[in-house]
């Protein structure tokens, strides 16, 4: 497919090895995020699932110290990115009933905590899989075309940045939790290869056909690069080894200074961790998707 060569599919991890470039401005109109809890700003608040973070101590370091459904003590990397791009302060969850058509113009996140690249993962968690997230994106397209007209809506999408982050839950549930898939595939490595193939197939099927067909030209696949923090082996909440979602709550003792920690709970980065990711992306990724 010749059109594939015009799409920027970029990994944070890969570009951290390249020399930084800087630009004074970015030609990006909006940011749309897809994936798991690293992209979820509150979509799971609207599902009957234990995989929610709309309770303290999650969100304690947000501007109003109110938990919104982000799996961290504060902002996510996508929140920092939309601020860096000059779009808005925070990237809202699409399912937030307060999201307006005007909010859609500069982007939303469809991420859902507990989602993954393996259908078995969402069968267990009961949250939004990636296919459903892209169906919601199609709803956004329809709303934008209705409000702005087809030409202006396509301009927004043509110049938007699309971020996908997924895969951690698959390993946690199907490899290290109940090793169903490892037994099926024979090894962790083979299961990882299966997930990678699913990601590539997903990008080709939904990313190229639906996103590209909808006008998307900049698709970023996010990964976790090497990060230097004082504490990287445990999270800030509780013991930092087991607590996640409902297991991390206001009854747990939390660290005083979360900025020294890479992880907030047992698996999710702190606001500082997400900030590091976003600002590295600013220097090492954004220049390559804005030219």
> Catalytic residue among 36, 79, 118, 265, which?
265
What are the boundaries of each domain within the chain?
Answer: 2-285
The widest CA-to-CA distance across the chain, in whole angstroms, is 55
Distance (Å, whole) CA 153 – CA 85: 19
Distance (Å, whole) CA 263 – CA 283: 23
Q: What is the DSSP letter of 214?
A: T
* Beta partners for residue 70, in sequence order: 41
* Beta partners for residue 33, in sequence order: 109, 163
Whether 37 is a known active-site residue: answer yes
> Catalytic residue among 118, 165, 166, 268, which?
268
Q: What is the pTM (predicted TM-score) of this model?
A: 0.88
> Catalytic residue among 37, 72, 77, 166, which?
37
Q: At what angle do helices 150-158 and 130-148 cross, to 10 degrees?
A: 130
Q: From residue 138, how far is each of 71, 98, 110, 135 by CA, in Å?
A: 25, 19, 11, 5
- Reading the chain (291 residues) residue by residue, the pLDDT tens digits are 333 333 344 444 433 333 343 334 688 999 999 999 999 999 999 999 999 999 999 999 998 999 999 999 999 999 999 999 999 999 999 999 999 999 999 999 999 999 999 999 998 888 999 889 989 999 999 999 999 999 999 899 889 999 999 988 999 889 988 899 999 999 999 999 999 998 888 777 765 566 666 566 787 887 666 678 999 999 999 999 999 999 999 999 999 999 999 999 999 999 999 999 999 888 888 888 776
């Amino acid at each position: 497919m010749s059109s594939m060569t015009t799409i920027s599919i970029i990994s944070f991890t890969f570009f951290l090895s390249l020399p930084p470039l800087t630009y004074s401005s970015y030609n990006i109109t909006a940011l749309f995020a897809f994936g798991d809890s690293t992209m979820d700003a509150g979509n799971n608040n609207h599902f009957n699932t234990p995989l929610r973070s709309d309770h303290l101590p999650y969100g304690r370091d947000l501007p109003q110290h109110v938990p919104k459904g982000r799996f961290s003590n504060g902002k996510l990397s996508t929140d920092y990115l939309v601020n860096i791009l000059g779009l808005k302060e925070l990237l809202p969850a699409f399912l937030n009933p307060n999201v307006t058509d005007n909010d859609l113009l500069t982007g939303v996140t469809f991420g859902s905590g507990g989602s993954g690249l393996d259908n078995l993962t969402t069968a267990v968690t009961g949250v939004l899989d990636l296919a459903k997230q892209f169906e919601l994106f199609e709803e956004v397209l329809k709303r934008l075309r209705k409000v702005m007209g087809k030409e202006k809506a396509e301009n927004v999408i043509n110049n938007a940045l699309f971020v996908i982050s997924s895969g951690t839950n698959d390993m946690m549930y199907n490899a290290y939790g109940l090793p169903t898939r490892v037994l099926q595939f024979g090894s962790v490595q083979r299961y990882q290869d299966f997930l990678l193939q699913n990601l590539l197939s997903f990008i080709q099927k939904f990313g190229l056909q639906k996103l590209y067909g909808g006008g998307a030209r900049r698709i970023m696949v996010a990964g976790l690069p090497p990060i230097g923090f004082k504490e990287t082996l445990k999270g800030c909440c509780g013991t930092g080894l087991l607590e996640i979602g409902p297991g991390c709550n206001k009854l747990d003792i939390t660290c005083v200074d979360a900025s020294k920690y890479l992880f907030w709970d047992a698996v999710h980065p702190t606001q500082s961790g997400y900030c590091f990711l976003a600002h590295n992306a600013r220097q090492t990724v954004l220049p390559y998707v804005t030219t």
